[in-house]
Amino acid sequence: MTLSIWSGTVDFVMPLYAVGELASEVRPLDQRTVTVDVTVRYQACDDQICMLPRTENFSLELELETMEVPALKVHMGHGQQEGSYEAAPHMRRLLRRKIGQNPLGFPVFLWKNIKLELAARRRRVS
């Protein structure tokens, strides 16, 4: 059996992207850093013996950066870095393709968003 073996110091690189409530393309960052909890499980071996597996837990404090967003109205003025490329033609092409795949999907999406917006306005008034 062939096993991957590393010796000395080993560096792993893993890109992380903030999504959901932490970061959004249509609003500024809520916070500039985030703490990520990391768990690493490893087992030290040589050609004769293997030690018991170990688990190490640690936390990383990562800095968040603004991202470049397309030059679409929905993205503009929200604190993200506005891109220098015109995205409207690509958005129109995407919408045509999506509507072609499901003609009722877009009107249903709009109706749901209008209902949600009206409900939010009613809650703010009361």
pLDDT band at 69 (very low <50, low <70, confident <90, very high): low
Global confidence as pTM = 0.43
Check: CB of residue 104 under 8 Å from CB of residue 116: no
**Residue 125 vs residues 108, 114, 115, 118, 119: alpha-carbon distances, Å:** 26, 17, 16, 11, 10
Q: What is the pLDDT of residue 44?
A: 84
Q: Is 93 inside any structural domain?
A: yes
Q: What is the pLDDT of residue 56?
A: 94
- The 8-class DSSP code of residue 83 comes to P
Q: Is 107 inside any structural domain?
A: yes
Q: Is 9 inside any structural domain?
A: no
Q: Is 27 inside any structural domain?
A: no
Q: Is 75 inside any structural domain?
A: yes
**Residue 38 vs residues 12, 17, 31, 35, 44: alpha-carbon distances, Å:** 12, 15, 20, 10, 19
The angle at the Cα of 92, spanning 87 to 94, to the nearest 5 degrees, equals 95
Residue 7 has pLDDT above 70, yes or no: yes
Q: What is the pLDDT of residue 77?
A: 59
Q: Is 17 inside any structural domain?
A: no
Residue 79 has pLDDT above 60, yes or no: no
**Residue 47 vs residues 13, 50, 57: alpha-carbon distances, Å:** 27, 8, 27
Token pair for residue 81?
A: 């870095």
SS3 116: helix
Q: Is 113 inside any structural domain?
A: yes
Q: What is the pLDDT of residue 1?
A: 53
Domain boundaries, position 46: 33-125
The residues near 36 (Cβ < 8 Å, ≥ 6 apart) are 16, 59, 60, 62
Q: Is 54 inside any structural domain?
A: yes
pLDDT single digits (tens) 16-68: 766 655 555 555 666 778 888 989 888 888 888 889 999 999 999 988 776 66
Rounded to an integer, the average pLDDT of 80-85 is: 66
Domains in the chain, number: 1
Signed CA dihedral, 67, 70, 73, 76: sign only: positive
Q: What is the pLDDT of residue 101?
A: 85
What percent of the chain is modeled with pLDDT above 90?
8
Q: What is the pLDDT of residue 106?
A: 79
